[in-house]
Amino acid sequence: MKRPSRASSGDVFGAVDDPTRRRVLDLLTHGELPVRRIAAPFAMTRPAISQHLRILLRARLVQVRLDGRERYYRLRARPLREVYDWVAHYERFWQGKLKALGAFLDREGNEQKGRRR
Amino acid sequence: MKRDLKFEAVYPHPPDKVWRALTDPQAIAQWLMKNNFEPRVGHKFQFRLEPRPRGWSGIVDCEVLEADPPRRLAYSWRGSGLDTIVSWTLEPIAESTRVRLEHTGFRGLRGWMISRMLGKGWRSKILTQNIPKLLAHWVGEGAVPDVPEAQCTHK
């Protein structure tokens, strides 16, 4: 699989292609968290988690806030929005079209019966 | 690793009739989109969606890949950074037809990401609950402009 470039949105693709980072994003959907809380559910060293967070940060999927010595991360949904819209769009699109196909078939059936009478 | 969209529907009509609805340009236009389709392998055609949806040109470039009446129809589905395949499989059940629709092969930048997003664990929770909630909240803030189209195609 060819990786998109690292510039701009390219990072988003690479960033979400990792189960740990997806779990981190999932955790952050509940709100802002300090690094130690993000690291807690993972059997991983803090530097390893920090590395994942850096990748997410580069992809602008998270933003960081310094409060004293603690770094707080929160999710930035913006890069995910378009993708979400697309998935939702296609699901809705085909579901709607299959319904429309059913309605079309029913309509055709009635017309044919009508003509035969 | 690819993730696909799969749908299934049963219509109380025979496969021949469903096949006509899937392959007659006038019929297709009534339930799917305007088109210049011909049920011939190698035929290149377009679907046009009007009015144009937000963030999409509304044009899908296609080529017929399979046409086996009244059982199977497949065409490529390309547009707005997507390079995918749409296939229809018809199966008779008594007086009815089971239709399987698959939209597969999400590739390209968007496609690749979509396939990731459809991946295990994400679809169930993050996509159906968390992200929509978050997006609603985010959109509600009203401070951030729409993601420009160019951002996704930027190399």
Among candidate residues A62, A52, A54, the one with its CA nearest the CA of residue A17:
A52
pLDDT band at B10 (very low <50, low <70, confident <90, very high): very high
User: A56 and A49 in contact (C-beta within 8 Å)?
Assistant: no
Chain A residue numbers with beta carbons less than 8 Å from the beta carbon of B101 are 94, 98
- For residue B113, give the nearest of A78, A83, A97 by CB distance: A83
The better pLDDT of the pair B45, B151 is held by B45
The better pLDDT of the pair A111, B7 is held by B7
Q: Considering Cα of A101, then B50, then B132, then A25, what sign does the dihedral take? A: positive
Q: Are residues A61 and A95 in the same domain?
A: no
Give me the count of residues in chain B: 155
Give the pLDDT confidence score for residue B50 in this predicted structure: 74
Chain B residue numbers with beta carbons less than 8 Å from the beta carbon of A89 are 53, 56
Q: Is B147 a member of any domain? A: no
Q: Are residues A109 and A56 in the same domain?
A: no
Q: Are residues A45 and A71 in the same domain?
A: yes
Nearest residue in B to A93, CA atom: B32
Q: Are residues A30 and A42 in the same domain?
A: yes
Q: Which residues span the domain enclosing A21?
A: 10-76
Q: Is B56 a member of any domain? A: yes
Query: A23 CA to chain B: closest CA distance, Å?
Result: 9
Q: Give yes or no for A113 touching B (CB within 8 A).
A: no
Q: What is the pTM of this model?
A: 0.61
Nearest residue in A to B118, CA atom: A87
Q: Is A99 a member of any domain? A: yes
The better pLDDT of the pair A88, B32 is held by B32
Domain count, chain B: 1
Q: Is A57 a member of any domain? A: yes
Q: Are residues A53 and A110 in the same domain?
A: no
> How far is residue A30's CA from residue B54's CA, in Å, rounded to a whole number?
29
Q: Give yes or no for A1 touching B (CB within 8 A).
A: yes
Q: Please name the residues between 55 and 74 in chain A that touch chain B, using a CB distance below 8 Å.
A: none
Q: Which residues span the domain enclosing B79?
A: 5-141
Q: What is the mean pLDDT of chain A?
A: 79
Q: Is B26 a member of any domain? A: yes
* DSSP-derived secondary structure for B41-60: TT-EEEEE-SSPPTTS-SEE
Q: Are residues A65 and A107 in the same domain?
A: no
Give the pLDDT confidence score for residue B87 in this predicted structure: 95
Q: Are residues A66 and A85 in the same domain?
A: no
Q: Are residues A70 and A98 in the same domain?
A: no
Q: Cα dist. A84→A58, B53, B152 in Å?
A: 20, 15, 13
Nearest residue in A to B27, CA atom: A104
Q: Are residues A36 and A92 in the same domain?
A: no
Domain count, chain A: 2
In this predicted structure, the answer to whether residue B38 has a pLDDT above a threshold of 50 is yes
pLDDT tens per residue, range A46-65: 899 999 999 999 988 899 99
Query: A5 CA to chain B: closest CA distance, Å?
Result: 6
Query: B101 CA to chain A: closest CA distance, Å?
Result: 9
Q: Is A4 a member of any domain? A: no
- For residue B129, the one-letter residue type is Q
Instruction: Over range B83-109, report the average pLDDT.
Output: 87
Q: Is B152 a member of any domain? A: no
Q: Are residues A84 and A66 in the same domain?
A: no
Q: Is A5 a member of any domain? A: no
Interchain proximity B134–A29, CB inside 8 Å: yes
Chain A residue numbers with beta carbons less than 8 Å from the beta carbon of B110 are 82-83, 86
Q: What is the CATH number of the domain that holds A38?
A: 1.10.10.10
Q: Are residues A83 and A67 in the same domain?
A: no
Q: Are residues A86 and A58 in the same domain?
A: no
Q: Cα dist. B40→A8, A115, B36, B73 in Å?
A: 41, 30, 12, 10
pLDDT band at B100 (very low <50, low <70, confident <90, very high): very high
Query: A106 CA to chain B: closest CA distance, Å?
Result: 8
pLDDT tens per residue, range B43-61: 999 998 776 666 567 789 9
The better pLDDT of the pair B78, B11 is held by B11
Query: B13 CA to chain A: closest CA distance, Å?
Result: 7
In this predicted structure, the answer to whether residue B120 has a pLDDT above a threshold of 80 is no
pLDDT band at B31 (very low <50, low <70, confident <90, very high): very high
What is the DSSP-derived secondary structure letter of residue B122? I
Give the pLDDT confidence score for residue B66 in this predicted structure: 97
Give the pLDDT confidence score for residue B123 in this predicted structure: 52
Q: Give yes or no for A48 touching B (CB within 8 A).
A: no
Q: What is the CATH number of the domain that holds B89?
A: 3.30.530.20
Instruction: Over range B88-93, report the average pLDDT.
Output: 97
Give the pLDDT confidence score for residue B5 in this predicted structure: 80
